[in-house]
Structure 1
């Protein structure tokens, strides 16, 4: 399996590919096409938002649709993450640390052993595959090019906390059944933000214009945390077309936070890579 299968889009694909490498270390170097979509049900069916039966109707300006977003300086969390594909169904423990709008640290472990560590800032992705003793650095442009989706730091942060990825981008607001829908466009990606009655984002749908690949983030189990409603459960789904065989594939990850802290006190972000690996990069 190719080394870059380690990094399938932060939470969703970073975690999932770590698992595949752990299980299939001696398998054929066949890239991500092993994730062919099968007729399997998502982990959380209740979060699926169906296409509205009625036409969407523009109702107001963005400023009049206030989203209850989570404000914090530092975040510390632990989550149980289950990865599901037609060929696999595995679970991981993920420790997460974040400095808002600037840094995300993830440590992925299985059976009590660290598998990999990742560090994301606003311009660079650093990934240390401890199991295989490999280290890579990527710009977000390179990172996106490998995985058929225009990922950014803002999208990765949204995966963790459920805030809107692009706040300064102009939005068109429409009413979609029981939801307000904020429609945006950023770097050739269409963004649909579904806002529930509790003023929280219930779903973010990102569609890449040039490929029609889709990344869906569903949020549920909102719990009060430091006066904010925090989504304890998330469902992340990527549907994409393979460049090799033009077939559609899917990766699904279910995230359940077991502990979350919003802090004012600075955190450490330990990311230690053997010097011999740094010299190879």
Structure 2
């Protein structure tokens, strides 16, 4: 009788340790959401500054443009972008993005824009927020003071900030519906999605082809698809990466440029 009692207790204990959710076929090993977030944060790239260099391509409808780029990123503070002609190397445009302001100027057309991210988004037809952009460009976990829930999917770990059942809390109206997916092996981000259904906006970002830049594991390709009234596609191929170097962020709008 004692043995039977012990066996029953052990079976009950084992049963209680199993996941309370039914995982879909091909889903990675079960992790509690809290544990998953801790692992993802632990594998996020630690940095104070980043420099990304490479080449890119922009497409919207029949309009296509290739470019070379350099990005200088100060963690949680500043994103500096410089664009150049892909063949001649001539400087074409420069931008500066912070929590408070977005500014850029076009050397070819001799004009500039400056204002809050929402003001610039209305003018250029591309909505973005600083913190998600920082997380995407640094291939890091996006916290953004959200409640994150695990959406079990084949092949990847996935977190969403919107309710999957009745006892979960929806995000505040000012935030988009967000999804971020992570490799089941490295716990590094593989994709992000930002949706504002009422405004018909959808932004999907893929981080592909992770490789070692020196000792730093980082995606060699970033793919952006933004859909509202029309579709905008941006592809970035990263060829060089530097971390924690002392950087400058030169930015001066010439006085004879026209404000748009």
Category of TM-score, reference length = shorter chain = 0.7 to 0.9
Larger of the two Rg values belongs to structure: 2
Once the 2 structures are TM-superposed, how far is the Cα of residue 188 of structure 1 from its aligned partner? 3.4
Among candidates 178, 186, 192, match of residue 179 of structure 2: 192
Alignment of 1:224-263 (within 5 A): 224-225=212-213, 227-241=215-229, 249-263=230-244
Once the 2 structures are TM-superposed, how far is the Cα of residue 208 of structure 1 from its aligned partner? 1.0
Once the 2 structures are TM-superposed, how far is the Cα of residue 228 of structure 1 from its aligned partner? 4.1
Q: 1:87 to 1:132 in 2, by over 3 A?
A: same
Give the ranges of 4+ consecutive aligned residues of structure 1 lying more than 6 Å apart after TM superposition.
none
Aligned match of 2:111: 134
Once the 2 structures are TM-superposed, how far is the Cα of residue 108 of structure 1 from its aligned partner? 0.6
Q: How many residues align?
A: 217
Q: Residues 233-269 of structure 1, C-alpha deviation per residue, up to 9 Å, x if partnerless?
A: 111111112xxxxxxx211111101111012x32001
- Paired residue secondary structure (1:175): coil
Aligned match of 2:45: 70
Cα distance between partner residues in 2 of 1:147 and 1:268? 27
Normalised TM-score (structure 1): 0.70
Normalised TM-score (structure 2): 0.75
Alignment of 1:41-56 (within 5 A): none
Indicate conservation of the 8 Å contact 1:188/1:209, yes or no.
no
Cα distance between partner residues in 2 of 1:109 and 1:158? 24
Indicate conservation of the 8 Å contact 2:71/2:80, yes or no.
yes
Q: Does 1:166 align with 2:146?
A: no
Cα distance between partner residues in 1 of 2:32 and 2:148? 8
Aligned match of 2:120: 143
Cα distance between partner residues in 1 of 2:125 and 2:62? 21
Once the 2 structures are TM-superposed, how far is the Cα of residue 227 of structure 1 from its aligned partner? 4.6
Once the 2 structures are TM-superposed, how far is the Cα of residue 219 of structure 1 from its aligned partner? 0.6
RMSD: 2.4
Unaligned stretches of 5+ residues in structure 1: 1-52, 242-248
